[in-house]
Amino acid sequence: MEKDFLHIDDWTRDEILSSLDLAVEVKRKLKNREAYKPFKDHSLAMIFAKPSARTRVSFETGFYRLGGHAIYLNPADIDVGNREPAKDVARVLSGYNDLIMARLFDHAHILELARYATVPVINGLTDYNHPCQIMADILTLKEHFGRADNLKIAYVGDGNNIVHSWLRLAMRLPLHFVCACPLNYPPDQATFERAKQAGVSTVEIVHDPLSAVKDADVVYTDVWASMGKKHELEERKRHFKRFTVTSELMAAAKPTAVFMHCLPAQRGLEVSDAVMESPAAIIFPQAENRMHMQNAIMLKLAGKG
Ligand code: CP
Ligand code: NVA
């Protein structure tokens, strides 16, 4: 197993599947309040260059529940790449901590952090990808549909970091993944080509949400303007007009289709309030699973899973 978890395809298919099984087992232990403290006397450094609700609370609570201590470092504390280079931060924090989780802007910074850290580094989102999110998403799908593969996922919206992680998952598990995005907001072409070349899944980029959701098991969306791009929102609203997930769009998917969103959501933009509140929405189990999935990821990396 790789030292770090920076992209979903850092793990083999078997490592992904066994981590899902571990997440289910550890989730059950925590729900039953079993005495299970594998991270006793361990610490986790959490570096945040961007805001966060789910990532911060799920990592901090999860690590605590497993017996460890998590340290929150806010954007002003470390300021990777400005106040101090990633390679220095890596070696300093490795001297104090057993694990490092980082949410950064520049993907190159997390690669540098991992290269120089002597302890495992986990990607808590960069401008490029968000692997912990998509791992939690497939745990949620496994719970809901009984399987994490052979599903049609129709993503409607910006070709962003979430899409890149879906594409990299599609290199490992067979899926039908369709990204319906406006013409000028596609995902990274090289990542798309790699996912296609891997020959494991069917992956497509299209520009019509209605045809994309046909036969979909999952309709997924995310904000139109990600962190770091919020100033573009007004302009983006013009390009994304046809890309709101509405009840009408959900009705064009399979009758059994679920709605997912990594959150935070901007209701009335990428998704309607009605869809967020509908029985098809599995967004809150999805959010809860961040903690269970990340617990499994941390246990695997620490050699405890
Ligand atoms: N989904 C997610 O990563 O949420 P936060 O930005 O609140 O951590
Ligand atoms: N694409 C979003 C995901 C937030 C969890 C962002 O990067 O802001």
* pLDDT one-digit tens code per residue, 231-289: 999 999 999 999 999 999 999 999 999 999 999 999 999 999 999 999 999 999 999 99
Mutation test residue for ligand 1: of 47, 55, 137, 140, the one with most atoms within 8 Å of CB: 55
Could you give the percent of the chain with pLDDT greater than 90?
A: 100
Nearest-CA residue for ligand 1 atom 5 is 52
- The per-residue pLDDT for 251 is 98
CA–centroid distance, 197 to ligand 1, in Å, is 30
CB 191 less than 6 A from any atom of ligand 1 = no
- Estimate the share of the chain in helix, then strand, then coil, as percent rounded to the nearest 5: 45, 15, 40
Mutation test residue for ligand 2: of 129, 134, 226, the one with most atoms within 8 Å of CB: 226
Instruction: Check if 262 is active-site.
Output: yes
Distances (CA, A) of 155 to 23, 77, 185, 250, 298: 25, 35, 13, 12, 28
Distance CA 167, CA 144 (A): 21
Please state whether beta strands 258-261 and 218-221 pair in parallel, antiparallel, or not at all (unpaired). Answer: parallel
Coil/strand/helix, residue 158 = coil
Average pLDDT score, the chain: 98
- The per-residue pLDDT for 54 is 98
Instruction: Please check whether residue 18 is in contact with residue 293, taking contact to mean a CB–CB distance below 8 angstroms.
Output: no
- The per-residue pLDDT for 277 is 98
- The per-residue pLDDT for 257 is 98
Instruction: Please check whether residue 59 is in contact with residue 44, taking contact to mean a CB–CB distance below 8 angstroms.
Output: yes
Mutation test residue for ligand 2: of 107, 165, 222, the one with most atoms within 8 Å of CB: 222
- In what helix (H) or strand (E) does residue 123 lie, and over which residues does it extend? strand 121-123
Nearest-CA residue for ligand 2 atom 3 is 226
CB 263 less than 6 A from any atom of ligand 1 = yes
- In what helix (H) or strand (E) does residue 53 lie, and over which residues does it extend? none
CA–centroid distance, 58 to ligand 1, in Å, is 9
Instruction: Please check whether residue 156 is in contact with residue 220, taking contact to mean a CB–CB distance below 8 angstroms.
Output: yes
- The per-residue pLDDT for 274 is 98
Query: Would you say the pTM of this structure is higher than 0.95?
Result: yes
Distances (CA, A) of 47 to 74, 89, 271: 7, 10, 30
Q: Which residues pair with 259 in a beta bridge?
A: 219, 281
- The per-residue pLDDT for 165 is 98
Q: Identify the structural domains of the chain with CATH numbers, from first to last.
A: 8-130+290-301 (3.40.50.1370), 133-286 (3.40.50.1370)
Interval 81-99 mean pLDDT: 97
- The per-residue pLDDT for 141 is 98
CB 164 less than 6 A from any atom of ligand 1 = no
- The per-residue pLDDT for 42 is 98
CA–centroid distance, 228 to ligand 2, in Å, is 9
CB 161 less than 6 A from any atom of ligand 2 = yes
- The per-residue pLDDT for 148 is 92
